[in-house]
Amino acid sequence: MAKQTSKTYKKNPVFDINEQLGKLPPQSTDIEMDVLGALMLERGKDIVVLDILKPESFYKTEHQKIFKAIQDLSLNHQPIDYHTIIEKLKQNGDLDEVGGPAFVVSLSSRVGSAAHIEYHAKIIAEKYIKRELIRISSEIQTRSYDESIDVQEILEFSQQGMFDLALGSVNKEAMQIDSVMNEAIHQIEEAQKREDGLSGVPSGYSSLDRVTSGWQNSDLVIIAARPSMGKTAFVLSMARNIGVNHNKSVALFSLEMSSVQLVMRLISSETELGSEKLRSGNLQSHEWKQLESKIKSLEKARIFIDDTPAIGLNELRSKCRKLKTREDIDLIVIDYLQLMSGSSETRGNREQEVSMISRGLKAIAKELNLPIIALSQLNRSVEMRSGNKRPQLSDLRESGAIEQDADIVIFIHRPEKMGITEDDDGNSTRGLANIIIAKHRNGAVTDVNLRFREEFARFEEFNENFLPPLDEGAANSVTFESKINNGEDDFFDNSKSADTSFPDIGFSDNNGEDVPF
């Protein structure tokens, strides 16, 4: 792979590539002058035009400077006519460069009315977008000939350039409240029609869904925990519930584990067969039948797994768009945020990189109008804390922007993993998983208790009358080592055993009765 480079490229002038092609870049200087002249005629038209154009939208430098003067006057609530524009150009030192007072006065005499100014402004904006497309293409061409630049960096540049241009060219109008109100009432009516009463994507855990009403469209949900608390197991359990029980589509981006490893976990959870047996293939005949019968539901589930390592934000955005268009996915899961790579501009500053990634994930959630769940690491301060060692928002690793950008922040806290064997009331914490909703932009912050079946890496509804069996040795367990966490992982622990004689309690459908939280 080509070496990374910090080489900086200045914007190529649009006319460079056009000179090669023997063509003039898209422009309409006559319409530009008409718009500038119309702005001097009628008061209030600047409000319409400033929402469509910016100084660089104009082709000629003289026109850019005149429009910049008009923009400054408008922002300062000053009158706009050729007298004030000339005075502003003098202050900016640009009057002679634009052609002097005579040229400014001539603009006001070009048009007799500002009736079509909005239409003309849109033409100028379209010409500017075409010039920008040519400029970006020219820069892509230049970088592609440079052997010192990594091809992935070129792809990121091209995707980011196109995305920024598309984002900047969309002007979303303010909507009167009645139209928004109708959409809100429609959502309430649709929620009433559903038996579960949820307005979002269900997690499959009724106690959690009662708090969130399901994962909501455009929300960024952060699920954080220390290593080996069960982050991956939790989202896999949810993905299974969503895909199998609720027949919805889930896209899972795994940056650490391979797709086969994830599927092996799902099979172990679904069939209740130990992972070591699955890895070795040492199954009895009845276990093969059990495997074949129980994986049928998984095979039909619309769960899409992408295990691209160190995926960048632009590549993720592109893949999510395709999945939304082709498969109409309902939920995106990322495991996990700190393993994503930022742009070349933020490399070297990890905090800025993570901040940019979290903002980007929120932008993707809004753009595609679906929930995104991103897993995140916590720093070590939670382990040094005395008492119950409950995580706090300040424990989020590497960036405070994660807390700011997220709509929901959830912590997974398993007291037994922190050496706490009993709660304050003297109850055993074995198998207990506290799902701590620490931030909820549109709802309550509270705790939800779930049960973690470590032998199958599966989360289930909490049942106070049930405790998992005591461990009887490490012979039947296996540890999946994490390259990121230096051996710590959220699956099996060598100190735990897989008791295949586990009683048939009937938690496989994750649809138990409501439990107070």
Rounded to whole angstroms, how far apart are CA atoms 517 and 513? 12
| 226 falls within a domain | yes
Of 168, 189, 220, the residue at which a domain comes to its end is 168
Rounded to whole angstroms, how far apart are CA atoms 398 and 391? 15
Taking alpha carbons only, the member of 231, 242, 199, 206 closest to residue 331 is 242
- pLDDT value at residue 171: 57
Strand blocks (E) in 288-423: 303-306, 331-335, 372-377, 408-413
Residues 146 and 284 in one domain: no
Here the CATH number for the domain that contains residue 238 is 3.40.50.300
Tokens 């309430």 belong to residue: 188
| 113 falls within a domain | yes
Residues 314 and 216 in one domain: yes
- pLDDT value at residue 16: 53
Residues 241 and 96 in one domain: no
Residues 313 and 391 in one domain: yes
- pLDDT value at residue 20: 55
Residues 358 and 257 in one domain: yes
Here the CATH number for the domain that contains residue 125 is 1.10.860.10
Residues 18 and 149 in one domain: yes
Annotated active-site positions, please? 256
Give pLDDT tens digits along the chain (517 positions): 444 444 544 555 544 555 555 678 899 999 999 999 988 888 878 888 888 888 999 999 999 999 999 988 888 888 888 899 999 999 999 999 998 999 989 988 887 778 888 899 999 999 999 998 999 999 999 999 988 888 878 887 887 788 777 766 655 566 667 767 777 787 777 777 777 778 889 988 988 988 998 999 999 999 988 888 888 989 999 999 998 888 899 999 988 888 888 888 888 888 877 777 777 777 788 878 888 888 888 888 888 999 888 888 878 887 888 888 888 999 999 988 888 876 655 565 777 788 888 888 998 898 889 999 999 888 887 777 777 778 888 888 666 778 888 899 999 988 888 778 777 777 777 888 889 998 999 888 998 989 888 878 888 888 755 555 544 333 343 444 444 444 444 433 434 434 433 334 333 344 444 433 3
Residue 329: domain span = 198-461
| 442 falls within a domain | yes
| 386 falls within a domain | yes
- pLDDT value at residue 504: 40
| 277 falls within a domain | yes
Q: How is residue 449 written in tokens?
A: 């208790």
Residues 20 and 108 in one domain: yes
Residues 239 and 281 in one domain: yes
| 477 falls within a domain | no
Burial letters for 329-359: b for 16+ Cβ neighbours within 10 Å, e otherwise?
bbbbbbbbbbbbbbbbebeeeeebbbbbbbb
Residues 155 and 282 in one domain: no
| Total structural domains within the chain | 2
| 494 falls within a domain | no
- pLDDT value at residue 505: 35
Q: Report helix, strand or coil for 215.
A: strand
Of 413, 440, 461, the residue at which a domain comes to its end is 461
485 Cβ contact list (under 8 Å, min separation 6): 227, 228
Residues 241 and 149 in one domain: no
- pLDDT value at residue 440: 92
Sheet with 372-377, strands from edge to edge, namely: 303-306, 250-254, 331-335, 372-377, 220-225, 408-413, 432-440, 447-453, 458-461
Rounded to whole angstroms, how far apart are CA atoms 402 and 313? 15
423 Cβ contact list (under 8 Å, min separation 6): 415, 429, 432
Q: Report helix, strand or coil for 400.
A: coil
pTM, two decimals, is 0.63
Strand partners, 448: 435
Angle at 496 (CA atoms; ends 495, 497), nearest 5 degrees: 130
Q: How is residue 119 written in tokens?
A: 């239409």
Residues 265 and 391 in one domain: yes
Please tell me the total number of residues recorded for the chain in this structure.
517
Residues 237 and 350 in one domain: yes
| 457 falls within a domain | yes
